[in-house]
Amino acid sequence: MSTIQYKADQKTVQEILNFYEKDQLNLEPGFQRSSVWNERDRDKLIDSILRNYPLPSIFLYRRYEDGNLVYDVIDGKQRIESILMFTGEKRGGRFWTKSRLPDLEHLDWIDWNTIKRKKLQYLITGYHLQVIEVTGELADIIDLFVRINSTGKALTGAEKRHARYYRSGFLKKASQLANRYENYFRSTKILSSGQISRMKHVELMCELMVAAHTQDVTNKKAALDRVMDSDSIRGRDLDKASQATVASLNRIKQLFPKLRQTRFRQLSDFYTLAVLIQKFERERMILTDRKRNKLAWDILAAFSAGVDRVRMHQKRAENIEPNQALYRDYLLTVLEATDEINQRRKREQLLRGLLEPLFHKKDAARLFSIEQRRILWNTTTNPKCVVCRRNLTWDDFTIDHIDPWSKGGRTDLDNAALMCHQHNSAKGNRRNKWAA
């Protein structure tokens, strides 16, 4: 049973300004969304106030913090924020409005200073806002917020999740990483500034972190709601998922620096590519060879063009050629139910078939075994470091990969060389040029 209670009232704009000045008005409660109004929206609001037009009610959550009265804004943030910006109470974002003041015969562009010079600020500060004060349990307040904001500029799925789960450690981490990659998403055209303002970058990061944790693609909405509702990815699992997500995004930036030129900058395509790169990293694929990386880019760009060409044929109701079947199969996965798990799996399988053959895998064994160490030592006459030629003993020798393990070198005796600790450490992942 809901514990919500409410009371309808009126408050002047001046009262709202006073609350803000005294830190009693919280525009950014955890469940609130980011600003979505543009300057034109704000301009029209101020014009409506100057004309004394009635406005929709503002909803405020009345609560107490350390004994002080605080109002969290449930609905009406954009309106209150616009008033604060216009009057200069909120720094940054001052704007003009096109309206008609009482002493003017025609519309004109005016700002707050113009109104004050004419001593007409009461037209705004004396305006009565319809206010509904709400009290109740936070869970019910959040549900009310979601319901109210399901019309007009409705909440996106990401904003609804943020409202319901903003205290989730998983969501906080996703938000942190999303902000870190915000410029990349914007510059690559994966997400527009408008989408980012609606928290789509946070939603994408959540999806990639879930995929890193489950090690597979997932159904978009069901997976995210399930994870955040239970807060099941936390602690060490959360750290691992975050690290894998960061590694894959950095790898994509390195592998495909011109991604914005292809269809893989589109959200559904990018998600598939990012999850596949996560899997390649986990499968110890070698993704650092410049020649192979260049070939991977060429193939990805050509495949993107092929899919776009088939899409163009479909729009013109033209038949496709037999050699375009692969492109058609991929295209079908993004035209309908694109975020369903089956479609995402098909898309990934097709993309894997293109890219996987290009890359070698690292040897499953990173270190030489004790048996390999004994064989190499006992079959080497007068063991010396291949670099400095210093005599080695059983207690101080190391075995080096002639072709570095990180670049595909095998952990077997044909790729092994004796080396002292100092020179093995200094060599890094370069090829051992001193070995025979």
Helix axes 169-180, 220-230, angle to 10 degrees: 120
**Which parts of the chain have pLDDT scores under 70?**
1-2, 33, 150-167, 221-225, 228-230, 431-436
CA distance 90 to 75: 18
Task: Give the per-residue pLDDT at 2.
Answer: 56
| Cβ atoms < 10 Å from Cβ of 337 | 12
pLDDT of residue 200: 86
Provide the pLDDT for residue 105: 74
* Angstrom distance (rounded) from CA 409 to CA 187: 37
Structure letter (DSSP) for residue 381: S
What is the pLDDT at residue 161?
65
Query: For position 233, what pLDDT does the model report?
Result: 85
**Which DSSP string corresponds to 127-156?**
PEEEEEEEES-HHHHHHHHHHHTTSSSPPP
Please state whether the predicted TM-score (pTM) of the whole model is above 0.85: no
Q: Which sequence spans correspond to the domains of the chain? A: 5-148, 157-358, 370-427
The pLDDT of residue 145 is 78
Distance CA 262, CA 254 (A): 15
Q: Which of 108, 90, 119, 121 is nearest to 13 (CA)?
A: 121
Which residues, including other chains, have CB under 8 Å from residue 392's CB and lie 6 or more apart? Answer: 383, 384, 385, 418, 420
Residue 87 phi, psi dihedral angles, 5° rounding = -85, -5
Residues paired with residue 9 on neighbouring β-strands, in sequence order: 131
Q: Please name the helix (run of DSSP H) or strand (run of DSSP E) that holds residue 215, with its range, or none.
A: none
| Amino acid found at 418 | L
Q: Per-residue DSSP letters for 266-279?
A: SHHHHHHHHHHHHH
